[in-house]
Amino acid sequence: MKTNKSTLYITTLFAVILSLTKVMAMEVFQESPATEDSVRKESTSARTGWMHHSFNFDLGLNNYVNNWTFPDASNEPYTLKPIGSWYVALNSVNNSRIFGPFYMDYGGGVSWYNFKFEDPMIRVLKGTDAVLFEPDGNAYNSYKKSKLTAAYINVFMVPIIHFSDGRGSRSYHDFSREGFRIGAGAYAGYRVSSYNKAVFDSGKKDDMKNKSNFYLSNFRYGARVQVGWKATDVFFNYDLSPLFEPGKGPDLNAFSFGIIF
């Protein structure tokens, strides 16, 4: 019951934050008649300051390391498939000009880690005092895949340098797709869901889903880097916090990388 109340509280707070940031963005961008003066002001807005709101979609891959060493180096049972472990995030983003070429991306969103195991027979179990990664002993099942999924709500702040002065840009949409840009910042998140799902074939395709916290850390925090060129932006996230509670699972730090849509 305590976990449910905490989840409800964090989710409600997150929704309020998103609503406030969206209202702020709407107040800045009140529509006005397309007069010559307004067009001229809009064309120089990259230099005079603005706030822009958008919804972004992160799609990429995720994995984890122990002191920058992948688990397959020591044949650990929780070794992941390098392709197929997908990272997905939906973000509400505000971009504000600070001064000169310096801007700030900030907001919140929801993200999912999908850790797909190399061995499809591996099941994740919550033991008495630690998480267990054990092969399923049911010889009647022909396993296709097994994965550990964890969902988080997050907040983030990423200062960005735009190497474009915005000359000739009539909107932030145009300006944000000019030249080169790079930024580095931080994020923090709260876990709201986690489960282990196994897909197998026992005469017909079926799956088993086991919901548990698996001693995953409730909070995560880390560093984020974004790099963009014209209409393409990529990201790299690295969790400075451990994936599992100390002493309850392997000492792993998760990371993800991919494209921002």
**Least confident stretch, 1-5, 184-188, 222-226, 242-246:** 1-5
Residue 106 tokens, joined: 């900030």
What is the C-alpha to C-alpha distance for residues 70 and 64, in angstroms, rounded to an integer?
7
Tens of pLDDT along 83-127?
999 999 999 999 998 988 999 999 999 999 999 999 999 999 999
Burial 214-235 (b: 16+ CB within 10 A, else e): bbbbbebebebebbbeeeebeb
Q: Give the closest residue to 200 by CA, choosing from 125, 149, 140.
A: 140
**Least confident stretch, 40-44, 93-97, 168-172, 181-185:** 40-44
**Least confident stretch, 48-62, 64-78, 114-128, 220-234:** 48-62
Torsion angle (degrees, nearest 10) of CA 172, 175, 177, 183:
-90
Please state the rounded mean pLDDT for residues 181-185: 97
Q: What is the separation of C-alpha 230 from the centre of its chain, rounded to a whole number of angstroms?
A: 22
Given a contact cutoff of 8 angstroms between Cβ atoms, the answer to whether 221 and 186 are in contact is: yes
DSSP class of 190: E
Tens of pLDDT along 127-176?
999 999 999 877 556 888 999 999 999 999 999 999 975 555 555 555 55
Tokens 């005092």 sit at which residue?
129
Q: Give the closest residue to 242 by CA, choosing from 64, 61, 92.
A: 64
pLDDT confidence of residue 31:
41
**Alpha-helix residue ranges (DSSP H) falling in 31-101:** 36-43, 45-48
Q: Give the closest residue to 250 by CA, choosing from 36, 74, 30.
A: 74
Q: Binning pLDDT at 50, 70 and 90, where does residue 177 land?
A: low
Phi, psi (5° rounding) for residue 90? -115, 120
Q: Give the closest residue to 14 by CA, choosing from 124, 103, 91.
A: 91
Please state the rounded mean pLDDT for residues 74-87: 96
pLDDT at 24 over 60: no
Q: Give the closest residue to 68 by CA, choosing from 240, 189, 258.
A: 240
Tens of pLDDT along 200-227?
876 566 788 999 999 999 999 999 999 9
142 versus 37: which is more confidently predicted? 142
* Helix/strand/coil for 40: helix
What is the C-alpha to C-alpha distance for residues 128 and 137, in angstroms, rounded to an integer?
20
pLDDT confidence of residue 169:
54
pLDDT confidence of residue 164:
77
pLDDT confidence of residue 11:
53
Given a contact cutoff of 8 angstroms between Cβ atoms, the answer to whether 64 and 252 are in contact is: yes
pLDDT at 40 over 50: no
70 versus 139: which is more confidently predicted? 70
**Least confident stretch, 66-70, 82-86, 133-137, 238-242:** 133-137
Across the chain, mean pLDDT equals: 83
What is the C-alpha to C-alpha distance for residues 6 and 170, in angstroms, rounded to an integer?
45
Please state the rounded mean pLDDT for residues 12-25: 49
What is the C-alpha to C-alpha distance for residues 189 and 195, in angstroms, rounded to an integer?
17
pLDDT confidence of residue 12:
55
